[in-house]
Chain A
């Protein structure tokens, strides 16, 4: 079946502009996560959605970052007034329970470059 998809795959934007990144999770997955990976760094948690519960926004680095998940499926991460330090690969993942455990399925990421 289809995996997690993200669009666009690459985005170049000028400093100060707003950007929207999209994530289509695997159908039926109730949990959705956003991470970012800066050059040479590990994955940094941004935000997590679980069903209809209030999202865990504890990883968002500033109020310029926001995300929503419509209808429990597609999610959009919005970065307002982009800065050069926002340049990174933004990864989305969705999660399902498998037997006694659970795992995340990642999309290919969106590479954001702020010039």
Chain B
């Protein structure tokens, strides 16, 4: 049973528009959430995180929204750029620093010029 789900395996967006990547989780004990980006033949790189005490965290073009009651989070990229084309993984953790992270299956984003 997947604890972290990314139901869209792929997403295509026009350059300059907003990309919205969604993630749902089932474990109410998760209290820390992260988004990673992965290019082919490279390891994932950290993008942005959010603690369960917040409902929004923003870093430049990237904003993560957390809806705890719905057990849902989303990553917004505005404006989308061709270099954003990658696989995006949502990850969740319980219990603070150093705990195991549970990853979703990823969403492949293609930003079309």
Contact = CB atoms under 8 A, between A and B. Distances in A.
Contacts of B25: none
A35 B103 contact: yes
A43 B51 CA distance: 21
A101 B49 contact: yes
A31 B43 contact: no
Contacts of A59: 100
Contacts of A43: 44, 89, 91, 103
A50 interface: yes
Looking at chain A's contact residues, the main secondary structure is strand
A98 B11 CA distance: 31
A42 B101 contact: no
A100 B45 CA distance: 19
A72 interface: no
Contacts of A93: 43
Nearest to A56: B100
Interface string A3-30: 0100000000000000000000000001
Interface string A72-110: 000000000000000000010101010011111111110
Contacts, number: 62
> What size tier do the contact residues of chain A reach?
20 to 34
A45 B51 contact: no
Contacts of A33: 100-101
B45 A102 contact: no
Contact of B103 (A31, A42, A103, A108): A42
Nearest to A107: B43
Interface of A: 4, 30-31, 33, 35, 41-45, 48, 50, 56, 58-59, 91, 93, 95, 97, 100-109
17 contacts: A42-B103, A42-B106, A43-B44, A43-B89, A43-B91, A48-B100, A56-B100, A58-B100, A91-B43, A101-B32, A101-B49, A103-B46, A104-B36, A106-B44, A106-B45, A108-B41, A108-B42
